[in-house]
Amino acid sequence: MSVAAHTPVQCGIVPPQLLVRVARQGDPRFAGAAAAARDSLLCDEAFRDTRRAAPVQHLDQGLHRPGAAPRSVWNARGSELLPGIQARTEGTPPTPDAAVNEVYDGLGSARVLLWNAFHRDSLDDHGMPLRATVHFASHYDNAVWDGSRFVFGDGDGQVFARFTRSLSALGHEFGHALVQQTADLDYLGQSGALHESLADVFGSLVDQYAHGHSAAQATWLIGEGLFIDELDAHAIRSLKAPGTAYNDDVLGKDPQPSSMADYVETDDDNGGVHLNSGIPNRAFFLVATWLGGNAWEAPGQIWYNTLTAGTLAPCVDFTGFARATTRTASSMFGEGSTEHTAVAAAWREVGVVA
């Protein structure tokens, strides 16, 4: 593997292999999308280089009401210069720019979930301000947590729509930021796939909480609404059925495995972090649906408490995380409880533990 442990990495919602697939598209109808995908890959590489050079710095908290960390949204106006021009700050009214308002409202939904469900005051539990930039670059095909702010592209209009349209996509990037502020898992191999999975879990929880959906009502899709309607694509990923989010001539077929039987061994994408995350994703879905009710309650509490307990090694693998969540369930609800049994059974179902 080429990426060393603890090297800061850019965390985007679109897997690089999907952008590569679009970039190689030979259909002249999608020439613009192919060019945009190539440019987006270069932008992602620039994000990675920037984060290697500049360690993450905590932001000044300032005064705020607990659970209501201040939000600010900036407009890059198609440039690659961050942060851009300030477009909206905490407490100000909506603007004519839909992307600005979508991000402002989405960050509000994410901070409300953290406070109401987990009694956590923003990402760092100390009211860390939430900053985002929209309209980044020209036709940028991604949404990114760059270590200090959330960055959203407008998409190419032929394959990807604007990335602020999807609350689960914003929640996914919020999840990456939360992992960084807590367990700070290595973005490599199985620990990297857990990083991606935890981002998907919290992205789905943000969406479910905002819409008041129970585990049974939820779509369990990440990035729903990011593809244009003409494509045979529901979302970027599915926690319910990894490998079924899209199947289209332009995009190919969703390659995510749903169990260890189909685990992908690869050096690409930091060891397949976007692919193999489907395995722990499905484990969480199974726990949530077996228990019923709201996924942010018992299942979300188990995953959150495991993430924030301070006991996870940065290089934890699937087996280590499975054991940790099972121990958490036992500690919270009792050995042999319904919750403990469901967690253990879910990890067996996806083949992580025997």
In angstroms, the Cα distances linking 189 to 303, 306, 318 are 20, 19, 10
Catalytic residue status for 173: yes
State which amino acid sits at residue 351. G
The span from the first CA to the last CA of the chain, in angstroms, equals 28
b/e map of 275-297 (b: 16 or more CB within 10 Å)? bbbbbbbbbbbbbbbbbeebbbb
Q: Is 353 exposed, middle or buried (0-12, 13-18, 19+ CB in 10 A)?
A: middle
d(CA 55, CA 49): 11
d(CA 21, CA 278): 20
Q: Which of 135, 139, 234, 274 is catalytic?
A: 274
Residues 6+ apart with CB under 8 A from 179: 185, 195, 198, 199, 307
Q: Is the peptide bond before 66 cis (omega within 30 degrees of 0)?
A: no
Q: Which of 173, 196, 224, 339 is catalytic?
A: 173
Active-site residue set? 173, 274
